[in-house]
Amino acid sequence: MNKNTATLLISAPDRKGLVATIADFLLSHNANIVHADQHQDSEANLFLMRVEWDMTDFSPTKETFQAAFSPVAKQYEMQWNLRFSAQPLRMAIMVSQYEHCLSDLLHRYRIGELACEIPLIISNHENCRALAEFNDIPFYHTPMVKEKKAEIEAYQLKLLEEHQIDFVVMARYMQILSPDFIATYPNRIINIHHSFLPAFDGAKPYHRAHARGVKLIGATAHYATSDLDEGPIIEQEVMRISHRDSVEDLIKKGRDLEKIVLSRAVRWHLDSRILSYQNRTVVFD
Amino acid sequence: MNKNTATLLISAPDRKGLVATIADFLLSHNANIVHADQHQDSEANLFLMRVEWDMTDFSPTKETFQAAFSPVAKQYEMQWNLRFSAQPLRMAIMVSQYEHCLSDLLHRYRIGELACEIPLIISNHENCRALAEFNDIPFYHTPMVKEKKAEIEAYQLKLLEEHQIDFVVMARYMQILSPDFIATYPNRIINIHHSFLPAFDGAKPYHRAHARGVKLIGATAHYATSDLDEGPIIEQEVMRISHRDSVEDLIKKGRDLEKIVLSRAVRWHLDSRILSYQNRTVVFD
Amino acid sequence: MNKNTATLLISAPDRKGLVATIADFLLSHNANIVHADQHQDSEANLFLMRVEWDMTDFSPTKETFQAAFSPVAKQYEMQWNLRFSAQPLRMAIMVSQYEHCLSDLLHRYRIGELACEIPLIISNHENCRALAEFNDIPFYHTPMVKEKKAEIEAYQLKLLEEHQIDFVVMARYMQILSPDFIATYPNRIINIHHSFLPAFDGAKPYHRAHARGVKLIGATAHYATSDLDEGPIIEQEVMRISHRDSVEDLIKKGRDLEKIVLSRAVRWHLDSRILSYQNRTVVFD
Amino acid sequence: MNKNTATLLISAPDRKGLVATIADFLLSHNANIVHADQHQDSEANLFLMRVEWDMTDFSPTKETFQAAFSPVAKQYEMQWNLRFSAQPLRMAIMVSQYEHCLSDLLHRYRIGELACEIPLIISNHENCRALAEFNDIPFYHTPMVKEKKAEIEAYQLKLLEEHQIDFVVMARYMQILSPDFIATYPNRIINIHHSFLPAFDGAKPYHRAHARGVKLIGATAHYATSDLDEGPIIEQEVMRISHRDSVEDLIKKGRDLEKIVLSRAVRWHLDSRILSYQNRTVVFD
């Protein structure tokens, strides 16, 4: 994403001529394609595509692109989304007490691995404030009180809106967001769950993994939906454990999984690599 | 297991002096230890040990060992099991139509990777007969008829008994064994399930994995218990998949997982590496 | 590859309009694309593409396709290769004494995992004959005598030619092929090396891995070139080992790696997924 | 390591009675063993053991232990090392410009994952100072000038000595330490190399991995010796890459490997899990 590029994500009912139409459109505008990948889900009869071009020879605005591309899109019933690398997404991080995912994301941000802006961090605890401040990111403490959950969420949503947040990363934020909150950012809230979903969804996955005697533990990044831990899976990874490992060891080892899995999901989201449909994701590589 | 060795598996309530007592016992009999490993489960207050010695200087029979070791075992409330590498276990394989696990196990057997005898193969289908015969192993066809399940299982158990079978490997045997059958071989029936348990237990795991959109598929070898897919896990492995993979691709890729996971479990069982307690396993390495 | 499809592999100097041109060509012939993937190597200024279409609506012969596509290919300086799933490749297997890779490939062939024909197996030893015959594949014993190497290779090449072999798999064939032999099948001889190349190229890699104290062992499938173990890498995989593992354990564990890595490379070659350039490969997924 | 424990590492020529002798010694002192593991290298005729006990019932000082254990150790020609969890090791970190490993280690230190003290960080660059200060760790800037290397190293060694450093972690310190420096801390300097050794030892491993077209990249933690990248390997890990990945992508992906591999090696060193012999390591689990 160092170059000045535009990335177009498209999904449409699959039919002949889609690739030719899109390629012809881009060629007619003199676009220099630097990456293109497509996928056809024959069961769902769906065509999905990601195409990225260098802006040097074709540099539309969202408006001029829309005007030019709409007729094509309409004819093929495409849903599409355009992003410019020069306009990085604005990402909010929500976190509770465990700071490993936050610390990992902020480090990647600091060394330029994540091409985004982070206008704010929201937490129901105070302990991550120092880390936020070290990275010069405004930190908002929104302590959770059960009876005031609606009110608190309203305040959080207001913060997100004021900071023009594009998407939210729950970096081990240990509160369950209300369906209304989630509906505000469809496919734009990334959560990390500390198990290999669908195994051990819900509470205390490491304890249950230990009790069941599994030989691998996992972590799963997914888009949050109103069904807890049931949203479209973006990435998963596992790690071998042994009979020597206590629950505490699983928690410790699992942190490494959580950091890696969440950071990949965030990077792919930033790079417009993810298309979500039928509660599943395509991740273009 | 090329050497002529004896392997002792011990479990006992953990307390001081266990290692010293066992080590002293073996030293007093002039045993030359070639491998020893132990584990303490502090939660369960359990001590588990595997010790293997060269039979050159200490070559008891089961009877003479029992006579000598019993007082020690009694004092420390040990449960123990002794095996001699010179008396390989007798393994039965049960299989249905998919022959990949069977083919894999037989190849390993043929090239000396599995130190066991295979007196028979039992199948509810005919198609694996050629493979059995190529490997000179008697093949028994026991077609399954729902109404006659008890009768058929009785016949299968009679076959196992007649062939003095020590343990049974279900190499994708697609019938559910009755609790009575399983109770005849406690911790001695190894099953392979084609998912990363506890996810997708039961029927059609690859179909459900595909529907859920997971990014990794798995396989699990476990000791069969009367609770389907709930027995102690011996080994698990996973493999990355992508949005490109259809259910058929998962089935194809999964075969490699199943073969590897099942063969490891079988080898470890043959090498007396596995101790099972509280529906979990310790696998000594 | 169950469907009746055609697969086109293309490489060309990268320039604007390539995708549009190819897509337009296929659309103008009414081809129903079922899979397309492309890659641009910006350093090498190379465009590489794989496109597969259902033959129902566009079913050229090699000759009619050539006639139609040549002008396009010429204009863009494309190198291209067309294959029809209805005409499976003819694969020869060369093997020495270790039969695990051969056994694995033949099993996959038998259950329909490898869409090819296997007209013959060539070996410098006799011991794999039974396995070949069990699978009804002609077996040619070509014992190697140093002084007669040229003569023996000439005979082997004659066998390959007579059987109209498309490509050769060295399934642990422990002889070094002469440059002339290799030049006869450029990018069409797949070899498996039992290390993670470039580490431990040459002889006795497991012994050297053990001596060096590595924590993972590997296997590498590559196209054979006249530089031993230096050809384009198709696939690699690794496995964890520990201080407990002797050289014999590495050899045993490594067999699983070799089988999996080689079988993947063979499947990808059969599926026309591999493009080779500058001693590297693109493997379309 | 939360409990107050002592850990004893032993290596000795293998012979009968070693386990019994050590177990008896500990029992006679009323030690409550919480972890024991041993390994026999039959080729090297070496016995290696790690045993950890709860200090509640047996709490020697180094001196009292030495006095009691020496006769036993002498008789069996043991080399041994004793450590107390209550006296955490003092670790120095050396780093250059890349801060990802440093940042990772400091985060783990901050959340209590690494049971050590970090009295100082030494760098030949200034850019990691902020990170050091955020974590309240003294930062020494020792810019490298080729002609003054001996002088600079002398100063660095003086710093290490003044801070009573037990071992040194080179967290991507891009200078080659002199043999004299290394000899001061034998088996006590942990280095991270950004390749799967022995492949791509020396300079620019990611560039060379890319050029060779490997399908996996790796990282290796090892004890530094006077032979560059030839010291005993502690840990290795790999990650899959594809033809899509540029050298920059490898560098980015490799950072995750480097962090994980180095942090494991550091943790194992802190936990006295590593025994080194014949340029190899045993890592007790």
Tell me the sheet residues that pair with A188: none
Residues D150-183: tens digit of each pLDDT: 999 999 999 999 999 999 999 999 999 999 999 9
Does residue C254 register a pLDDT over 70? Answer: yes
State how far the Cα of A106 lies from the Cα of A130, in Å rounded to an integer.
12
Q: Which residues of B touch A199 (CB under 8 A)?
A: 196-199
Q: Which amino acid is at B26?
A: L
Mode of pairing for the β-strands spanning D116-123 and D139-141: parallel
A229 catalytic? Reply is yes
Q: Which amino acid is at D54?
A: D
- Mean pLDDT across the stretch C163-187? 97
What is residue D3's predicted lDDT score, i.e. its pLDDT? 78
Q: Which residues of C touch B242 (CB under 8 A)?
A: 285
| C233 shares contact with chain D (CB less than 8 Å) | yes
Give how far the C-alpha of residue D257 lies from the chain's centroid of Cα atoms, to the nearest Å. 16
Task: Calculate how close chain B gets to C94, using CA atoms only, in Å.
Answer: 19
Provide the number of CB pairs (under 8 Å) joining chain B to chain D.
48
Q: What's the whole-model pTM score?
A: 0.97
- Mean pLDDT across the stretch D212-230? 96
- Mean pLDDT across the stretch B84-93? 97
Does residue B207 register a pLDDT over 50? Answer: yes
Which positions ≥6 away from A151 have C-beta within 8 Å?
none
Catalytic-role residue among C104, C166, C229, C271: C229
- Percent of chain D residues past pLDDT 90, beyond the cut: 97
Residues B8-45: tens digit of each pLDDT: 999 999 999 999 999 999 999 999 999 999 999 999 99
* Shortest CA distance from A98: residue in chain D: D111
- Mean pLDDT across the stretch C158-169? 98
Tell me the sheet residues that pair with D89: D116
Does residue D1 register a pLDDT over 80? Answer: no
Please answer whether residues D256 and A257 qualify as being in contact, where contact means their C-beta atoms are separated by less than 8 angstroms: no
- CA proximity to D141, closest of D124, D127, D157: D124
State how far the Cα of D271 lies from the Cα of B136, in Å rounded to an integer.
52
Q: Which amino acid is at D130?
A: A
State how far the Cα of C115 lies from the Cα of C7, in Å rounded to an integer.
14
Q: Which residue has the tokens 């699992």?
A: A254
DSSP string, chain D: --S-EEEEEEEEE--TTHHHHHHHHHHHTT-EEEEEEEEEETTTTEEEEEEEEETTT----HHHHHHHHHHHHHHTT-EEEEEETTS-EEEEEEE-S--HHHHHHHHHHHTT-S-EEEEEEEESSSTTHHHHHHTT--EEE----GGGHHHHHHHHHHHHHHTT-SEEEESS--SPPPHHHHHHSTT-EEEEESSSTTTT-SS-HHHHHHHHT-SEEEEEEEE--SSTT-SPEEEEEEEE--TT--HHHHHHHHHHHHHHHHHHHHHHHHTT-EEEETTEEEE--
Mean pLDDT across chain D: 96
Residues A83-132: tens digit of each pLDDT: 999 999 999 999 999 999 999 999 999 999 999 999 999 999 999 999 99
Structure token pair of residue B29:
């009999």
| C45 shares contact with chain D (CB less than 8 Å) | no
Please answer whether residues B241 and B281 qualify as being in contact, where contact means their C-beta atoms are separated by less than 8 angstroms: no
What's the DSSP call for residue A130? H
**Nearest-by-Cβ selection for D16 from B16, B17, B32:** B32
What is residue B213's predicted lDDT score, i.e. its pLDDT? 97
Q: Which residues of D touch B35 (CB under 8 A)?
A: 40
What is residue D2's predicted lDDT score, i.e. its pLDDT? 58
What is residue B74's predicted lDDT score, i.e. its pLDDT? 97
Q: Which residues of A touch C38 (CB under 8 A)?
A: 36-37
pLDDT confidence band for A3 (50 / 70 / 90): confident
Task: Calculate how close chain C gets to A195, using CA atoms only, in Å.
Answer: 23
Residues C72-105: tens digit of each pLDDT: 999 999 999 999 999 999 999 999 999 999 999 9
| D23 shares contact with chain B (CB less than 8 Å) | yes
- CA proximity to A199, closest of A224, A174, A216: A216
Please answer whether residues C129 and B136 qualify as being in contact, where contact means their C-beta atoms are separated by less than 8 angstroms: no
Task: Calculate how close chain B gets to C164, using CA atoms only, in Å.
Answer: 29
Q: Which residues of B touch D31 (CB under 8 A)?
A: 16
| B285 shares contact with chain C (CB less than 8 Å) | yes
Chosen from A38, A215, A281 to mutate, greatest number of chain B CBs within 10 A = A215
| B19 shares contact with chain D (CB less than 8 Å) | yes
Q: Do D237 and C246 touch (CB under 8 A)?
A: no
Mean pLDDT across chain A: 96
Mode of pairing for the β-strands spanning A139-141 and A216-223: unpaired
**Active-site amino acid positions of D:** 229
- CA proximity to C213, closest of B277, D234, A112, A94: D234
Please answer whether residues B161 and B91 qualify as being in contact, where contact means their C-beta atoms are separated by less than 8 angstroms: no
Please answer whether residues C21 and C97 qualify as being in contact, where contact means their C-beta atoms are separated by less than 8 angstroms: no
| Edge-first strand listing for the sheet containing A139-141 | A139-141, A116-123, A89-95, A167-170, A189-193, A216-223, A233-240
From start to end of chain B, where are the E strands? 5-13, 32-41, 46-54, 79-84, 89-95, 116-123, 139-141, 167-170, 189-193, 216-223, 233-240, 274-277, 280-283
Residues C103-146: tens digit of each pLDDT: 999 999 999 999 999 999 999 999 999 999 999 999 999 999 99
Does residue B281 register a pLDDT over 60? Answer: yes
Task: Calculate how close chain A gets to D5, using CA atoms only, in Å.
Answer: 17
- CA proximity to D173, closest of D247, D248, D123, D225: D123
What is residue B156's predicted lDDT score, i.e. its pLDDT? 98
Structural domains of chain A, ranges and CATH numbers in brackets: 5-84 (3.30.70.260), 89-283 (3.40.50.170)
Q: Do A243 and B41 touch (CB under 8 A)?
A: yes
What is residue B2's predicted lDDT score, i.e. its pLDDT? 58
| A180 shares contact with chain C (CB less than 8 Å) | no
Query: What percentage of chain B's residues is helix, strand, coil (to nearest 5)?
Result: 35, 30, 35
CA atoms within 13 A on the CB side of D102: 28
* Shortest CA distance from A245: residue in chain D: D285
Please answer whether residues D194 and D256 qualify as being in contact, where contact means their C-beta atoms are separated by less than 8 angstroms: no
What is residue A1's predicted lDDT score, i.e. its pLDDT? 43
| B20 shares contact with chain C (CB less than 8 Å) | no
| C232 shares contact with chain D (CB less than 8 Å) | yes
Does residue A31 register a pLDDT over 70? Answer: yes
Annotate D18-56 with three-state secondary structure: HHHHHHHHHHHCCCEEEEEEEEEECCCCEEEEEEEEECC
What is residue B44's predicted lDDT score, i.e. its pLDDT? 93
Reduced to 3 states, what is the DSSP secondary structure of residue C205?
Answer: helix
Which positions ≥6 away from A162 have C-beta within 8 Å?
none
Residues C32-49: tens digit of each pLDDT: 999 999 999 999 999 999
State how far the Cα of C175 lies from the Cα of B80, in Å rounded to an integer.
50
Which positions ≥6 away from D111 have C-beta within 8 Å?
A99, A100
Does residue D122 register a pLDDT over 90? Answer: yes
Please answer whether residues D165 and D91 qualify as being in contact, where contact means their C-beta atoms are separated by less than 8 angstroms: yes
Chains in contact with C, where contact means 3 or more Cβ–Cβ distances below 8 Å, are A, B, D
Residues A193-227: tens digit of each pLDDT: 999 999 999 999 999 999 999 999 999 999 999 99
pLDDT confidence band for C2 (50 / 70 / 90): low
Does residue B1 register a pLDDT over 70? Answer: no
Task: Calculate how close chain B gets to C255, using CA atoms only, in Å.
Answer: 10
| B35 shares contact with chain D (CB less than 8 Å) | yes
Q: Which residue has the higher pLDDT, D76 or D1?
A: D76
What is residue C3's predicted lDDT score, i.e. its pLDDT? 78
Does residue C1 register a pLDDT over 80? Answer: no
